[in-house]
């Protein structure tokens, strides 16, 4: 069973461009989480999605950031008009749906996408 | 809201030394607690977890016990190896996060561990 896949692993963008980060969850996992890791910091939650639904986006910046998890295909984190402060590692995690709810589910992390904004 | 505090790093040890990385948390209710490890250039790997008070998580010689009375989940290993050099993150999920936020992990700032031969 392949792990969580993220691509690209490294992404370079110039200020003002768009960045699209992709996440394919583990087989059978229907929940996806996105986290951001700024240099020298821990991971910060951004958004929690289930298939075709955004469940919790309390960690998403109000502007320029959006996320989706369509019925078919990977989850996408989209950053419009990138700025230098968006440079970070973006990690996706997936978990299965089990009884007991999200608090009991283990999240499995992908290798991350390292975004550099020039 | 939920929060996690880890001991300041970096931590540098010689091989076979004893390791402790302190972690304390703030949450009401009964969160689940985790330790994740991140090797250079890689994503996070779950090291161990505990889902209720007094549970002990263990894996690869690492242990941590969920102490509700001290709100702590300290990571320990009796004899570290060079291959244990990595960044270690303490995290929690649940507690008083509320409603649909139960799924998100709250991380500490990470502790860099370097083990020398």
- Transcribe B46-83 into DSSP letters: EEEEE-STT-EEEETTEEEE-BTTTTB--EEESS--GG
Rounded to a whole number of angstroms, the CA Rg of chain B reads: 14
Subunit contact A111:B43, Cβ cutoff 8 A: yes
The percent of residues above 90 in pLDDT, for chain B, comes to 74
Comparing C-alpha atoms, which of B88, B53, B85, B82 is closest to residue B69?
A: B53
Provide, as residue numbers in chain B, all residues whose Cβ is less than 8 Å from the Cβ of A10.
none
Comparing C-alpha atoms, which of B91, B39, B37 is closest to residue B59?
A: B37
Subunit contact A109:B108, Cβ cutoff 8 A: no
Identity of the residue in A41, A93, A103 whose CB atom sits nearest the CB atom of B109 = A41
Provide, as residue numbers in chain A, all residues whose Cβ is less than 8 Å from the Cβ of B48.
none
**CB-hemisphere CA count at 13 Å for A67?**
29
Distance from CA of A61 to the nearest CA of B (A): 16
Chosen for mutation from B43, B87, B97 (greatest number of chain A CBs closer than 10 Å) is B43
- Tokens for A43, please give them: 């991971």
The winner for highest mean pLDDT among B3-17, B85-99, B101-115 is: B3-17
Which positions of chain A have pLDDT values less than 70? 1, 98-104
Lowest mean pLDDT among A34-43, B15-24, B67-76, B89-98: B89-98
Rounded to a whole number of angstroms, the CA Rg of chain A reads: 14
Give the model's confidence band at B43: pLDDT under 50 very low, under 70 low, under 90 confident, else very high: confident
Tokens 């583990």 label which residue?
A26
Distance (Å) of CA A65 to CA A59, A60, A62, B36: 10, 7, 7, 26
Q: Is A1 exposed, middle or buried (0-12, 13-18, 19+ CB in 10 A)?
A: exposed
State yes or no: pLDDT of B22 exceeds 90.
yes
- Tokens for A109, please give them: 């992390």
Collect all residues with Cβ–Cβ distance below 8 Å to B3 and sequence separation of at least 6.
Answer: B25, B26, B27, B106
Provide, as residue numbers in chain B, all residues whose Cβ is less than 8 Å from the Cβ of A31.
103
Q: Is the peptide bond before A8 cis (omega within 30 degrees of 0)?
A: yes
Closest residue on chain A to B109 (Cα): A42
Distance from CA of B107 to the nearest CA of A (A): 6
Provide, as residue numbers in chain A, all residues whose Cβ is less than 8 Å from the Cβ of B90.
none
- Tokens for B40, please give them: 């250079």
pLDDT for B86 equals 96
Closest residue on chain B to A110 (Cα): B43
Provide, as residue numbers in chain B, all residues whose Cβ is less than 8 Å from the Cβ of A26.
none
User: When comparing pLDDT for B81 and B101, which is higher?
Assistant: B81
- Tokens for A52, please give them: 């075709």
Distance from CA of B62 to the nearest CA of A (A): 18
**DSSP label at B6?**
E
């Amino acid at each position: 069973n392949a792990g969580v896949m993220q691509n690209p692993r490294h992404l370079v963008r110039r200020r003002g461009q768009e960045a699209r980060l992709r996440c394919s969850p583990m087989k059978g996992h229907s929940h996806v989480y996105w986290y951001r890791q700024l240099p020298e910091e821990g991971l910060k939650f951004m958004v929690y999605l289930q298939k075709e639904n955004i469940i919790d986006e309390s960690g998403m910046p109000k502007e320029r950031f959006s996320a989706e998890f369509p019925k078919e295909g990977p989850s996408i984190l989209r950053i419009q008009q990138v700025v230098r402060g968006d440079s970070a590692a973006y990690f996706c995690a997936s978990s299965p749906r089990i009884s007991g709810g999200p608090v009991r589910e283990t999240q499995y992390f992908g290798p991350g996408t390292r975004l550099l904004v020039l | 809201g939920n929060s996690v505090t880890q001991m300041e790093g970096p931590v540098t040890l010689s091989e076979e030394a004893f390791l402790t990385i302190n972690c304390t948390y703030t949450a009401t209710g009964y969160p689940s607690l985790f330790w994740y490890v991140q090797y250079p250039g890689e994503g996070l790997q779950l090291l161990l977890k505990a889902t209720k008070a007094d549970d002990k998580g263990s894996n690869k010689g690492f242990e941590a016990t969920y102490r509700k009375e001290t709100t702590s989940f300290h990571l320990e290993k009796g004899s570290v190896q060079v291959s244990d050099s990595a960044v270690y993150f303490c995290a929690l999920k649940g507690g008083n996060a509320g409603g649909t936020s139960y799924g998100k992990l709250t991380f500490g700032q990470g502790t860099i561990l370097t083990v020398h031969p």
